[in-house]
Structure 1
Amino acid sequence: MDETQLPHIVRNTMLPYGQQWLDEEDIAAVVEVLRGDLITQGPVIQAFETKVANYVGAQYAVAFANGTAALHGACFAAGISQGDEVITTPITFLASSNCILYQGATPVFADIDMNTYNLDPGQVELKITENTKAIIAVDFSGQPVEMDRLNMISKDNDLVLIEDAAHSLGASYQKVKVGSWADMTMFSFHPVKHVTTGEGGVIVTNNKQYYNQLQLFRSHGVNRNPDEMLNNEGPWYYEMHSLGYNYRMTDIQAALGVSQMNKLDQFVKRRREIAEQYDRELAGIKGLVLPYQHEGSNSSWHIYVTRWLPEVLNGTRKEFFEALRNLNIGVNVHYIPVYLQPYYQKLGYEPGLCPNAEHYYNTAITLPLYPRMSEQDVKDVINAVRKVVHDFSE
């Protein structure tokens, strides 16, 4: 591309890679709870759980203080414990693996598919042993994993399938919404996710036993159901039946979540529009790999991940990253392979464990994508990418 064809990029502020979108309805919903009698352990929690469960087509939902706590709860409900192995992906945030360690079990990392960057089902099969208890599959970037294959693998090997759908609320696989495929599915409501509760998470499931265990786990293991008590000394009485945690969501968070869920489809629609614009405007650029959508998958586009090929472009990923940041485009990298973290290295994990994941990581750059982006914001990202590619292709 000729230098004269490149537009001049002027941004006075950094464009973040992701950001919440709150309006006056959201604020009013929170204020209503703050002016009421109950700001935690009140009725808005159940209203939020029902809203999420109905949207994704699940029978039950249990809200947690955050997505990590929700994943921990799923591991507990699945019966994961010391001596068990759980297969997961290295290309994820730490929580997807740490929740396994919380239960005293061992994370086993399977390599990714280099098209989708999701867990490769074939690699998962190779990692199954007599100690394997579960699979935690992550819908990376908002694109669902191959749930049909992973479901079959789980059933054939009597494994619990947990879907970490922190990135994929509003997505679908084979025209079925994420949230009704796995034994348990986690959604996150961190501010950069599709809807936010500030911090928050939820597990949805169709299994009543898991539902009961999740409810106990998030609230100290305390049971207040008279029919399930060993003794019932009166209306005040409760019993602790298992070791739980205080992982409860507040009604303040839940009120924001209910209001945000009303806008979810609108948010996902805008995310898809931005992703489609990136696809159109950045297609065919030499040295730049755009996201791939697996057949049957309809992503909700949490993030838009590109790969920059150093062997084609005359630079390193760090140089590309810094050049984009210097243009006030707040790019990011998702993710460092979990087992390369110092803590995991001390546990005995070594580089080279998942070659695809490491190759992916060394070339990945996440572009900004969130519903509140203006058309000019989107154009600025596109123009910045073109300029940096041009500068490093000289």
Structure 2
Amino acid sequence: MDEKNEILDTIDSGWLSTGPKTFLFEEKVKEYLGDPELEVIPISSCTAGLHVQLLAAGVGHGDEVITTPLTFCATINTILYAGAKPVLVDIDPVTFSIDLNKLESVITPRTKAVVPVYYAGQAIDHDSLKAITDKYGIYILADAAHAMGAKYKEKFCGTYEDAASFSFYATKNFTTGEGGLITTKNKDWSARMRRMLSNGINKDAWMRYSENGTWYYEVSMLGYKYNFTDIQAAFGLHQLKKIDDFNRLRRELSAVYDAELQGLEYLKTPSEIKDVYHIKHLYPIVLNTDKLKISRETVISRLKERNIGCSVHYVPINFHPYYRESLGINPGDFPVSDGIYKGLISLPLYTKLDPEMLKKISANLREICETNLA
């Protein structure tokens, strides 16, 4: 109800687009992240954030940007939007994020940045990544879509990279329906990104149309329509008060799955590495299909027959026709990612579930698998 009342107040205020509540939201997020030096930029989506943080870093034609094949297509699309070439590195079999042991082998003089993906809400080993990027003088521009509230060594994701973009899509731990956020400590980048998200105009609508504004504006650079709105901010102001509880509850629910499913020979449960606070946006299991007579698709179908809806995060980039043709990649190119994908299932995980529901889901999964052991 808090979100609903705030949205109604926004409607009554007469200001729906970027305005006072967006700026208040920005300040409240900055307070939450606890770093006064941080620039916080609400934006229309994480996709938009990934795009403009690349542009702010000067990524363009002829450059290469390294990321992982086990990600949503937006990670790759935004690199292509910038005119750069995506270079993929296989994933770590524990975290499902980029394998840092393989990173240096693909760095070239054209490499401008690395986009680590904080898969399922878990930060990566930032110290090890930073040692590599410092050695070669390349940027860390994180895809933190899953990671609002996640931490590495007690620091929030988004406070220690060159830039990071978060998603506030409807399914995320923290949501504004649609929307996202960029964080950076680079003041020049921040100024450029703020102009880019408003069509390159040097004054946003609030500054022009508020009581003390002026009608005159100038376009100082190529920009986009990527602005955040006060309607979204109204929702976010109250989600921000709840995010820690949401993340804690997801961790508690994940622990129920762990207790129900760990130690089974036919599946692997997710792992949490040291020095991180994992916010459990997803609960991805990996079936050992060599131990089963049925496929991953059949397991999902049989769970669906029992009103248990599952998904897969994600179809790897090298399995999509567009990227196979445009990037010259194919299934089989990334053995770890490809192998995990073969058995990958995201089990239901959201805050309206309770432990008994998760025990029931787990029991159904075990029954389906154990009646079809190879």
Fold conserved (TM > 0.5)? yes
- Indicate the SS of the match to 2:115: strand
Moved more, 102-111 or 332-341: 332-341
Q: Where does residue 20 of structure 1 map in the other structure?
A: none
Q: Where does residue 67 of structure 1 map in the other structure?
A: 46
Distance 2:235 2:2 in 1: 9
Query: Deviation string for 1:271-294 (max 9, x for gaps)?
Result: 000011111111222211011111
Distance 1:338 1:383 in 2: 32
Q: Where does residue 35 of structure 1 map in the other structure?
A: 12
CA contact (8 A) 2:287 2:344 kept: yes
CA contact (8 A) 1:53 1:204 kept: no
Distance 1:235 1:130 in 2: 46
CA contact (8 A) 2:256 2:359 kept: no
Give the superposition deviation at 1:235.
4.0
Q: Where does residue 216 of structure 1 map in the other structure?
A: 195
Give the superposition deviation at 1:54.
2.2
1:260 to 239, 245, 252: 239
- Where structure 1 has 5 or more consecutive residues not aligned to the other structure, the ranges are 1-23, 226-233
Distance 2:30 2:371 in 1: 49
1:308 to 283, 287, 300: 287
- Indicate the SS of the match to 1:240: coil
CA contact (8 A) 1:140 1:167 kept: yes
- Indicate the SS of the match to 1:162: strand
Q: Where does residue 78 of structure 2 map in the other structure?
A: 99
| 2:6 is aligned with 1:26 | no
Give the superposition deviation at 1:197.
0.5
CA contact (8 A) 1:188 1:200 kept: yes
Distance 2:102 2:32 in 1: 32
| 1:362–1:66 distance in 2 versus 1, CA, 3 Å | same
- Indicate the SS of the match to 2:91: coil
Distance 1:139 1:150 in 2: 13
Give the superposition deviation at 1:349.
2.1
Q: Where does residue 341 of structure 2 map in the other structure?
A: 361
CA contact (8 A) 2:260 2:359 kept: no
| 2:113 is aligned with 1:171 | no
Q: Where does residue 253 of structure 2 map in the other structure?
A: 274
Moved more, 334-343 or 132-141: 334-343
| 2:347 is aligned with 1:370 | no
| 1:127–1:57 distance in 2 versus 1, CA, 3 Å | farther
CA contact (8 A) 1:57 1:179 kept: no
Q: Which amino acid aligns with 2:237?
A: V
Query: Deviation string for 1:130-169 (max 9, x for gaps)?
Result: 1000000000011111111111211111111011111111
Give the superposition deviation at 1:331.
0.8
Query: Deviation string for 1:167-186 (max 9, x for gaps)?
Result: 11111112222111211111
Distance 1:245 1:130 in 2: 30
| 2:115 is aligned with 1:136 | yes
CA contact (8 A) 2:253 2:354 kept: no
CA contact (8 A) 2:45 2:167 kept: yes
Once the two structures are superposed, the pairs formed by residues 228-307 of structure 1 within 5 Å of their partners are 235-307=214-286
Q: Where does residue 153 of structure 1 map in the other structure?
A: 132
| 2:23 is aligned with 1:55 | no
CA contact (8 A) 1:64 1:70 kept: yes
User: Which has the higher relative contact order, 1 or 2, with Cα contacts under 8 A spaced 6 or more apart?
Assistant: 1
Which structure features the higher share of helix residues? 2
- Indicate the SS of the match to 1:107: strand
Give the superposition deviation at 1:319.
1.4
Distance 1:179 1:44 in 2: 22
> Over aligned residue pairs, what C-alpha RMSD do you find?
1.5
Distance 1:381 1:162 in 2: 37
CA contact (8 A) 1:221 1:243 kept: yes
Distance 1:274 1:375 in 2: 6
State the percentage of identical aligned residues.
37
CA contact (8 A) 1:154 1:161 kept: yes
Distance 2:88 2:31 in 1: 33
Give the superposition deviation at 1:318.
1.2
Give the superposition deviation at 1:62.
0.7
Distance 1:207 1:349 in 2: 34
Give the superposition deviation at 1:31.
0.8
Distance 1:158 1:238 in 2: 37
- Indicate the SS of the match to 2:166: strand
Q: Where does residue 389 of structure 1 map in the other structure?
A: 369
- Indicate the SS of the match to 2:182: strand
TM-score by length of 1: 0.89
Give the superposition deviation at 1:314.
2.1
Query: Deviation string for 1:229-277 (max 9, x for gaps)?
Result: xxxxx94322211100011111001110111111001100100000111
Distance 1:286 1:313 in 2: 10
Q: Which amino acid aligns with 1:101?
A: L
Moved more, 379-388 or 189-198: 379-388
Q: Where does residue 191 of structure 1 map in the other structure?
A: 170
